[in-house]
Chains A and B, each alone.
Chain A
């Protein structure tokens, strides 16, 4: 097959899976808790800075993963307890509160690291010959990791006790509380899982982009679009949303150019908000 088409097809797969990875944290927080987390991009940014700090200290790249989990987890814990807990069931208020949080995180990062760009070395440089074309090795690994995280979360949510309890809490909070489930603690868990997933995505994306205080803004819009299209509260929703948004963006960018790719994403998001506001796979 034409290597150009193979590479562009791999680009589509890469676009969809990395977008799914970037959206997971938001899908958990917005999809399950109903918190419109505008600071999602800033948690991704925090993860990316963890990768930078790891490199600056001469630690191996993989050390960034536990670092990001600890920092984003602790941050998520504090934010849920201090900021979000009084605001559940008030979606608009969570939007304003997390918007303020996003400004705070951005300015804090600016104060600590400055405005400048940083770069994180690609942990697996070079390309791999695949289906008659050369594709960057790290991007292939990223596709595999994204898939694994997605499947892992899906399975865990299906079979683990905590997953079942979270589902009970999301389904009917009062009833879950009445049968003795610790719903407040479950909500904290869920929020922390969401921020940890965002931090994880940030670490993994860091070697491919400039690490800078404004980078979170790049992800907020697209990740919300994914949930608009896919629907809230299901793994299928995340997958289908990422497939539509990331896939269309990549396919149109490959076939025409990036301007039309961006335009298509915006038009599709508007059409969904207008005609199918609950998305493709909304929680029943």
Chain B
């Protein structure tokens, strides 16, 4: 009896599930029939989770680029249709969305603005089947086939800023603190090499669990007693805010300089004026960076989104560059054939908020800025032009 009930229930359940799958597929099929001409781009960015504070500017900046490209005739005459997809959760959730985008929505290209753990999972899922453009600052080393990186690399971000801290701010000893995942650990490997090259030493290296409700009184006390000249921070988002506010609260900001490797406008707003004294950052874009290109970009951004425009930051402008990179890449290759794209990527020039960028070796050379915090604003201290990306991807 019980078995029979169980069997019936299971059959009903299966029937329901099949019906559900059929229903779920139907709109997808109709949708693709209607808009066969659209160039479909899946955009991975943070709609949820700890990085979701970047979400609004990621989407807005990408949307601005899509509008501009579509107004200028789209990609090879096809209008871009954006598929905004959440990448703020665990990597396994994002790869599931990627499978759906590939099989059901049949996207032509993917753009990713998310952490490195998710990137590694996505590369393994996409298997070079569609071109994948990765945008935010990262730890280097991504050379997968049909993958194009427009992010700041360690040679561009970490080497110049660490060298500057040591040569011009006379920092000899460093304390490394970061979140416990692939980006901070690999970035610190690079940093240790650059610090050693300049004859400095590492006092201590510690990591806090990524995504846990961390507090930093104990770590800051350890730093206080270790007395380094500088702290190199690879904490992200709320952890970065918490740490820096605690650090300044304990009064260490006067004697010990801090260099944060992911410090942009949103995070600095959280850290606040009373936490940002003697704190430095190095990026290829700040909202107040000089230059015609940035002025033009900002005019368009604020014309489109008005007073309610999300806070500008490099995390967003790199999405803007990502969409422009997609257009240039596909048009130069005359389609999305992987081999043609890989060939086209060498010497490819496309537009970014910082002006035109040229890609070779699947990466981009850039102008880098070293900035200090003045209250909740960045003040550019040093501009370094044409910094080579230094990644050694073998040409495919």
- List residues of chain A with CB under 8 Å of any chain B CB: 3-4, 7-8, 11, 14-15, 114-122, 125-127, 134-136, 138-139, 208-212, 214-215, 217-219, 221-222, 250, 253-254, 257-259, 261-262
Tell me, in angstroms, the Cα distance from A226 to B303 when the chains sit together: 50
- A209 with B242: CB separation less than 8 A: yes
Using A117-B266, A119-B269, A253-B218 as known contacts, say yes or no to A7 and B224 having CB atoms under 8 A apart: yes
- B221 with A119: CB separation less than 8 A: no
With both chains docked as a complex, state the minimum distance between the C-beta of B273 and any C-beta of chain A, in angstroms: 7
- List residues of chain B with CB under 8 Å of any chain A CB: 50, 52-53, 55-56, 180, 206-209, 212-219, 221-222, 224-225, 238, 241-242, 245-246, 249-251, 266-267, 269-275, 310-311
- B212 with A262: CB separation less than 8 A: yes
- A257 with B250: CB separation less than 8 A: no
- B208 with A259: CB separation less than 8 A: yes
Contacts of B55 in A (CB 8 A): 115
With both chains docked as a complex, state the minimum distance between the C-beta of B80 and any C-beta of chain A, in angstroms: 25
- B53 with A212: CB separation less than 8 A: yes
Contacts of A8 in B (CB 8 A): 218, 221
Interface residues of B, dominant DSSP = helix
Tell me, in angstroms, the Cα distance from A138 to B217 when the chains sit together: 13
Contacts of A138 in B (CB 8 A): 249
Contacts of B275 in A (CB 8 A): 119
Contacts of B311 in A (CB 8 A): 116
Tell me, in angstroms, the Cα distance from A219 to B241 when the chains sit together: 17
- A210 with B56: CB separation less than 8 A: no
- A7 with B221: CB separation less than 8 A: yes
Tell me, in angstroms, the Cα distance from A3 to B225 when the chains sit together: 8
With both chains docked as a complex, state the minimum distance between the C-beta of B99 and any C-beta of chain A, in angstroms: 27
Using A114-B56, A209-B245 as known contacts, say yes or no to A11 and B218 having CB atoms under 8 A apart: yes
Q: List 21 A-B contacts (CB under 8 A).
A: A4-B221, A8-B218, A11-B218, A14-B217, A114-B56, A115-B55, A115-B56, A119-B274, A120-B272, A122-B274, A139-B249, A209-B245, A210-B242, A214-B50, A214-B238, A217-B213, A218-B213, A254-B218, A258-B214, A259-B180, A261-B218
- B209 with A262: CB separation less than 8 A: yes
Contacts of A134 in B (CB 8 A): 250-251
Nearest 4 pairs between A and B by C-beta? Answer: A117-B270, A119-B272, A218-B213, A210-B270
- A250 with B217: CB separation less than 8 A: yes
13 further A-B contacts with Cβ under 8 Å, apart from A115-B52, A119-B274, A258-B214, are A4-B225, A117-B267, A118-B270, A125-B274, A134-B251, A136-B250, A208-B242, A209-B241, A211-B270, A215-B238, A254-B222, A258-B209, A261-B218
With both chains docked as a complex, state the minimum distance between the C-beta of A222 and any C-beta of chain B, in angstroms: 6
Tell me, in angstroms, the Cα distance from A4 to B218 when the chains sit together: 10
- B218 with A258: CB separation less than 8 A: yes
- A212 with B270: CB separation less than 8 A: yes
In the complex, what residue of chain A is closest to B216 when comparing beta carbons? A258
- A116 with B269: CB separation less than 8 A: yes
Contacts of A126 in B (CB 8 A): 251
- B221 with A219: CB separation less than 8 A: no
Tell me, in angstroms, the Cα distance from A80 to B216 when the chains sit together: 36
